[in-house]
Structure 1
C-alpha cells in the first residue's frame, strides 16, 4: 500500500458543497437557531473572536447527525475508485475538525483529515499552503467546487470540479489542469416550485369565505382585492415554508418522505433559501401595505409571527401545536375579512376553529399512524406525541369535527341568518353533508389513506369536491 501511495499523488477532497451537498457552517447555524432561538446574541459574540473560534463554538453548541447528511454519490464513487487504485484519500475542509472527524468516521473513506481547529480556519490559501507542506506543489489532486478552491486547484496536479458555483468552472479551466467536471446536483424551477409549495396555496382559497358568507362574491372590486390578497398571502406562506424547511433540516432528513425536500436533500442550497425567504417577505409586506387595507397587513404580520413561533417551538408542544395549526387555518379567513373590510361573525370563527382543529388532528394522526406502522414506540421526532396517542387523537379529532356541525346547526336559527336567507331552513341539508364528510375523512385517516395535508386532500379528492358542490348548492338555494 505504501508503494502505491508513492506512485500516485493523494486525492484531496473538499467537504462543503463537494462531498456534502450542503454547508456545515450554515447547517450548524440553522441548528442553533432552531434549538436556542432566544440566545442568538451568543454567536454574534463568538464571531468577534475570529472565524475559527466561531466555527468551534457553533460546532460544540449544536448536534448534527452526520449519518443523514446529503452526501454526493458521484464524489463518493470518485473516492472509491481512487481507493481501489491504492491511492491515499484526504478530507481537507474549512469546517471544524470535530464535524469533519465524525463524517470521516461515518463514511470510512479517508486516510487523513485536515480541518479547521481553534487556531486556524482552513480555507483558501491556508488550505493550499498546508497541502503543499504535506504533499508539495503539484503533489496532489484536488476535488472542490467554490471560488475559495481556485487557489488550491492552482497548486494541484489535477483539478476535479464538482457542481461549481457561478463563474468557478470558467476560472478553474483557465488554470489548465481540470481533469473532470462533475455535475451531479442540478437544481431547477421544479425544485423551487416544490420548496415554495405552490400546491399549498389552495388553502388560501379560505380568504374568499367571508366574501361568500356576505353574499358579495359577484362584486368585481372585492373580487380583485381577493385575488390580490390570495397572491400576497400565498407568497407570505411560501416564505414561511422556506424558513420552516431550513429550520427543520434535521427532522426532515429522518422522515420517510420529507427527506426528499429540496433543502433537506441538498438540491437547493441553504444560502439560496436564506436569500429568498426575506426577499419574498419584504415584497409581500410592502405590496400589502400599499395595495390593501392596513388590517390585512396586520393579519399577515400576526400569521407570520404565529408561524415563526410554531416552527421554532410550538410545533413540539403537545396539544398546543394542533390548536396553533387550527389558528393558522383560521387566520386565512380573518385575513380575507380584513382584505374585504367585512365583519367576522361569531359563527364563522367558531365553525372554523372546530373544523380546522379536527383537520389539524387528522394531520397528526396520519404522522403517528405511519410511525406505529413502522413499529416505533418512542416520541415522534420533532413532535410532542407518541404512537400510542393515536386513539386519543382520533377521539378528539372526530369530536371537534362534529362540534363544527353543531355550530352550523345553531347558526341556522340565528336572527341574522333568518334575515339574510330567504329559506334558512334549507341549510339543514348542509348538516348531514358535513357529517358525512367529517366521518369519511376520519375513516380514511384511520385506514392510513391520508397522505396529504387534509385541506389539500379535500381540494383534490373527487368525493370531497362533490360534497363541497352540494354544500354550496344548499346555501345557494337557501339564499
Structure 2
C-alpha cells in the first residue's frame, strides 16, 4: 500500500491519466514493490526473534514460522538483484539510480542504521520520499521544492508518530522489540512528530498559495481551499499519534472513517484544482 505513493508526483502535476503515464507507473509500482519486498524479507529474517516479542509483528510470516528464514533471505536477495536489473532495461536511468539507492540505503538500515539514533528516522522517512519521487522521475516531471518539503516532512510526521506509538505501547519491553527505543524518550518523539507536522502544513500552504497565484478559470480556488482539508487530516491523524495508537499509518487511514472522508475531500479538491475546473 505504501508504494501507491509512486503516483503522487504525476497526480500533483495533473499528468496521471494518459495511457503512457499509467503504463509506466504500473511498471514502476511493480519494480518498487519488488525492491520493498526484498528489504522487508531481509529485515524480517534478521529480526525474527525480536518480532516474536511484538504484539503485532509476531504475526508476520517469518516471525510466525510460516516462511523459513533461509527462504526469506534467498527470495529477498533475488528480488534485490532482479528489480534494479529490470529497471535498467525498462526505465529511465534516474529510476534505476533511485531504486538502487533505495535498496542500498534500506539494506544498510536493516544491518546497522536502524541502531543509530535519529538516522533511523531519516532513513525510513527517505524511503517514503523516494516512493513519492520515483513516479515523477519515470515520467520526466520536475519535482517542486514544496512537493518535496511537504512529502518529506509528512513522512517524518508519520514515521516519528509510529515510533512514539511503539514506545508508548511497548513500555518496559523496548530493548526486546526494538533496541533503539530505549534511547528515545516519548517526549523527544512527540517533539519530532509535532515539528514535522508543523513544517508539512507550512510547506503545503506555501505550495498551495504559490500555485494558487497562477491565473485560472476554475469556479473556486480549489488548491487554496484544499489547505483546509489537508490541515484537518493532519490534526485528525495527530489524535491517534497523541494516543500512541498510530503504529501502522495505513491501518489508521483505512480504519478511521472520518480521516478517510477528509482524505477523499482533499483528493477531490486537489483534483478539481489540477483539472482547473
Highest RCO, 1 vs 2 (Cα 8 Å, sep ≥ 6):
2
> Which of 18, 21, 38 in structure 2 is aligned with 1:222?
21
Structure 1 counterpart of 2:266: 471
1:450 to 2:227 alignment: no
Q: Structure 2 vs 1, CA of residues 294 and 346 (structure 1 numbering), >3 Å: closer, same or farther?
A: same
1:317 to 2:116 alignment: yes
Tell me by how many angstroms 1:380 deviates. Answer: 6.3
> Which of 188, 199, 222 in structure 2 is aligned with 1:403?
199
Structure 2 counterpart of 1:261: 60
1:349 to 2:145 alignment: no
Query: For 1:317-396, what aligned pairs fall within 5 Å after superposition?
Result: 317-372=116-171, 376=172, 381-386=177-182, 389-396=185-192
Q: Deviations over 1:386-439 (max 9, x none)?
A: 39721331232022112211111111332x553375458432322222222212
| Whole-angstrom distance in 1 between the partners of 2:51 and 2:257 | 30
Contact 1:377 1:388 in 2 (8 A): no
Relative to the length of structure 2, the TM-score reads 0.89
Contact 2:212 2:224 in 1 (8 A): no
Gaps of 5+ in 1: 1-201
Contact 1:359 1:397 in 2 (8 A): yes
How many pairs are equivalent?
A: 273
> Which of 412, 421, 431 in structure 1 is aligned with 2:227?
431
Please say which of residues 296-305 and 269-278 is displaced more in the overlay. Answer: 269-278
Q: Structure 2 vs 1, CA of residues 378 and 236 (structure 1 numbering), >3 Å: closer, same or farther?
A: closer
> Which of 84, 87, 92 in structure 2 is aligned with 1:285?
84
Q: Deviations over 1:35-87 (max 9, x none)?
A: xxxxxxxxxxxxxxxxxxxxxxxxxxxxxxxxxxxxxxxxxxxxxxxxxxxxx
Contact 1:402 1:438 in 2 (8 A): no
Q: Secondary structure of 2:54's partner? A: coil
Q: Deviations over 1:148-196 (max 9, x none)?
A: xxxxxxxxxxxxxxxxxxxxxxxxxxxxxxxxxxxxxxxxxxxxxxxxx
> Which of 241, 249, 257 in structure 1 is aligned with 2:40?
241
Q: Deviations over 1:87-124 (max 9, x none)?
A: xxxxxxxxxxxxxxxxxxxxxxxxxxxxxxxxxxxxxx
The structure carrying a bigger helix percent of its residues is 2
Contact 1:318 1:385 in 2 (8 A): no
Gaps of 5+ in 2: none
RMSD: 2.3
1:213 to 2:24 alignment: no
> Which of 306, 313, 321 in structure 1 is aligned with 2:105?
306
Structure 2 counterpart of 1:191: none
Query: For 1:99-114, what aligned pairs fall within 5 Å after superposition?
Result: none
- Structure (1 or 2) with the larger CA radius of gyration: 1
Contact 1:371 1:387 in 2 (8 A): no
Tell me by how many angstroms 1:299 deviates. Answer: 0.8
Q: Deviations over 1:125-158 (max 9, x none)?
A: xxxxxxxxxxxxxxxxxxxxxxxxxxxxxxxxxx
